[in-house]
Amino acid sequence: MTKNAIKARPSGEKSLSAQIAQRLEDEILSGERSLGERLDERELASHFDASRTPVREALQRLAASGLVVMNGRQGAHVARLTLIQLLDAFKVVAELEALAAEQAARRIAPAQIAELEAHEAACEAACAEGDVERFYAANLRFHQGIVEVCGNWMLKEQLHSAKLLAPYRRYITSQPGRMSSSLVEHDAILERIRSGDSRGAAEQMRSHVNALGLGVSDFLHHLTRTGQQEILAAFEDAEG
């Protein structure tokens, strides 16, 4: 049995295909799987020590969520967004998270403020040590915490579908000075939420997420510098 093998679970827990889908999703969102990478059923079956049937079902699950693209004879690939799609996605997420911050400022409780402050403290500690992975994880908890506080189930569902932006947000976060800038932006957001300034919280969150979107040009530079021409071509084709 390989280290990636998924053990059988008791009745009532996630099916094997659901478990494989979750593990593969984690690998995609963590950057372990590259944008545009081909996802071969045989390789994945060996990777997870499973048959091809649950692997195929897992790929179909991820295709439904937008993380994987199924292209007939070409098989499955990790989804990659064109530049236009990426910019559009960040604009939408900026508005959704702004709404979450606005609603959170109106209903947040002291205990919830303390939780957000703890997430921000974790971001600060990771930034001080230059640990991008720890910062990204704490940053994710900060943003998710605000969404949880807002209490809007539909908004939460819509933002859940935006997880396909994770590889791009992770890269942008790793750029020089971005962690420090995020801390300043987080502080501004948290201060508005803490004081009940719903409009200010929305404005600060919108500005924060849009700043991540502006990192797209840096992302394209990274693709050029590292020779990822296949992915770069997809962005250039969209521009043309």
Tell me: domain 83-222, CATH 1.20.120.530, correct?
A: yes
pLDDT of residue 186: 98
Q: How confident is residue 52, by pLDDT bands cut at 50, 70 and 90?
A: very high
Report pLDDT digits (tens) over 89-148: 889 999 999 999 999 999 999 999 999 999 999 999 999 999 999 999 999 999 999 999
Cα–Cα distances in angstroms (integers) from residue 32 to residues 23, 94, 102, 131, 197, in the given order: 11, 26, 34, 17, 39
Residue spans per domain, the chain: 16-78, 83-222
Q: How confident is residue 4, by pLDDT bands cut at 50, 70 and 90?
A: low
Q: Which fold has domain 16-78?
A: Arc Repressor Mutant, subunit A (1.10.10)
Task: Give pTM, 2 decimals.
Answer: 0.74
What are 199's two structure tokens? 């409009």
Across the chain, mean pLDDT equals 86
Cα–Cα distances in angstroms (integers) from residue 171 to residues 85, 145, 234, in the given order: 17, 22, 18
Rounded Cα gap, residues 192 and 101, in angstroms: 9
pLDDT of residue 230: 53
- 43-68 residues labelled b (16+ CB within 10 A) or e (exposed): ebbebbebeeebbbebbebbeeeebb
